[in-house]
Amino acid sequence: MEIFSHLTHNSNYYNHNHTILSVDDEKDILNLFCDCLQKFGYETIPFNNPVDALSYISTSNISNCYVIKH
């Protein structure tokens, strides 16, 4: 995946205790994606339902939000 290439080569993003909220309706892909991010030092918050993810975002103190669609 292109995102993993960027994460491994950019020291500003590698292992700096950032949290990434991930959403995918396919549970196996979501688990694989989160496992990979955790290996790079990120905390992950997985959701397999976009409505639940949006509810979490609306009630949480999130300073930055980026949407990556694949």
Q: Residue 41 in contact with residue 14, Cβ under 8 Å?
A: yes
What is the homologous superfamily of the domain 2-59 according to CATH? Response regulator (3.40.50.2300)
Tens of pLDDT along 37-62?
Answer: 999 888 999 999 999 999 999 999 88
First to last CA, the chain: 10
Q: What is the pTM of this model?
A: 0.68
* pLDDT category of residue 7 using cuts at 50, 70 and 90: low
Is 2's pLDDT higher than 90? no
The residue with tokens 């990556």 is 68
